[in-house]
Structure 1
Amino acid sequence: MLQAYALLDAILEAEWEYRYYSFNSKWSPTEHMGSMRNGSGDDLFAVFDASGCFLRGFDHESPMTPWRKTPPSIWPGVLEAVPPQFSSSVQEPAFHMEDTTFCVWCLNGEPAWSRGSIEFPDDSEDPDGSEWMLSALDGDPTTYQSFAKEYFELDVALDAISRVLAHEPLSIELLNAFPSSRDIQDVAIDAEEIGYPVQP
């Protein structure tokens, strides 16, 4: 889903630094990496490799923020149970793991996502920020349509969004379905980095 969202953002916004979602299909020879940054201090990073998927997020207003105390410290249980297969991600400086409020993972072959054994604070409905952050990745085209209306101030047709969510190869015809003035060649360059298919 992050891959499709990254292509949608690339269609609607030419400048990478102003995009909300991004995806790097060449993060390493064996890894893909997707991310979200909202410009207000909240972010998430997801790594996909042969082991499965590792995802960490940070909600700066969460009651579980490491900055709730001095010196800052990650909430007990958030990272302690991360499988060793994802140790390189836990140690990745670009993910600034010291600013983590939630962490989930799914090893290949497992039927569901996992997280550590955490005693959550009982004074918040979404204590670690994972509910609002991950619910945006539900794959519903109306979810992204509402997001684009608020974030980019653009009205995007549901059909156009659905085509990208279905990974229809990028083409001039597909690009023209969006309220975008971007050139197909420029979007194709972004698509290559994202790893999104492009029509020959």
Structure 2
Amino acid sequence: MSVLELVKRLPEPDVVRRVSRALAVLDLVLNEDPGTRYFEFDARWSATEEAALMRDGSGGEYSIVFSPDGVFGYGFDHESPMSPYVNEMKPWPGLLDDIPEVFYEQRDEKAFAEDGTPRATVCFWRTTDDDAWRCGPVENVQADGADELFELIADGRPEAYLTFAEDYYQVALDLEPIRYVYALMPLTEYVVTSLNRERRLSDLKDAIAEIGYPRS
């Protein structure tokens, strides 16, 4: 799946935001080490924006910024032949073409760039006026990493996270608390300890606030 297929599979923006927030909370509960968490969500990215972030620890990453103008996403697969690092620090042809002006600030965000070039092999967006996700006229797409980077977002099901987490964290998990979090129900002590017996809701208060997830 390249970005050309990804824009056809992504759910509605509200679902992308909800799933992104849920992924961040689940990883927060399951993983006590901030340095090795896969998913984060910053409800205070700016005065008007929220951001979903992923870092896989092996050089893969993505950022999805939610603003009043819509949603803008970058993905980066460090092994992709489309990486700027193997193309003289130039974006892949077509990758950044046709981006609406309302997203220029997100396109040029320094946090997602290296020497002025976006750290990206995938780029997509959707304005509030769009009825579908968009991407640029990317030329000769070659293993851009969209499939692995955005699979959980495109899938949108709690079952997909269960499979991922059991493999990544090497633990057996129940599906029901994951479903609960995916529904953005207020987090409770029972849900937290059902996912991780070592974690307590009171210890997560500040991080939950940063994610913008509801508490009981």
Query: After superposition, where does 1:11-160 map in structure 2 within 5 Å?
Result: 11-69=29-87, 71-96=88-113, 97-121=117-141, 124=142, 127-137=143-153, 138-160=155-177
Q: Which residue of 1 aligns with 2:198?
A: 181
Q: 1:166 aligns with which of 176, 179, 183?
A: 183
RMSD across aligned positions (CA): 1.3
Structure 2: distance between partners of 1:78 and 1:157: 40
Q: Are the aligned partners of 2:192 and 2:201 in contact in 1 as well (CA < 8 Å)?
A: yes
TM-score (norm 2): 0.85
| Structure 2 stretches lacking a partner, 5+ long | 1-18
Structure richer in helix, relative to its length: 2
Aligned length: 194
Structure 1 position 45, deviation (Å):
0.4
Structure 1 position 197, deviation (Å):
0.3
Question: Looking at both structures, which has the greater relative contact order when contacts are Cα pairs under 8 Å and sequence separation is at least 6?
Answer: 2
Give the counterpart letter for 2:176 in structure 1: D
Q: Please say which of residues 25-34 and 58-67 is displaced more in the overlay.
A: 58-67
Q: Are residues 1:190 and 2:210 paired?
A: no
TM-score (norm 1): 0.92
Give the counterpart letter for 2:188 in structure 1: S
- Which secondary structure does the structure 2 equivalent of 1:162 belong to? helix
Q: Are the aligned partners of 2:107 and 2:118 in contact in 1 as well (CA < 8 Å)?
A: no
Q: Which residue of 2 aligns with 1:10?
A: 28
- Which secondary structure does the structure 2 equivalent of 1:103 belong to? strand
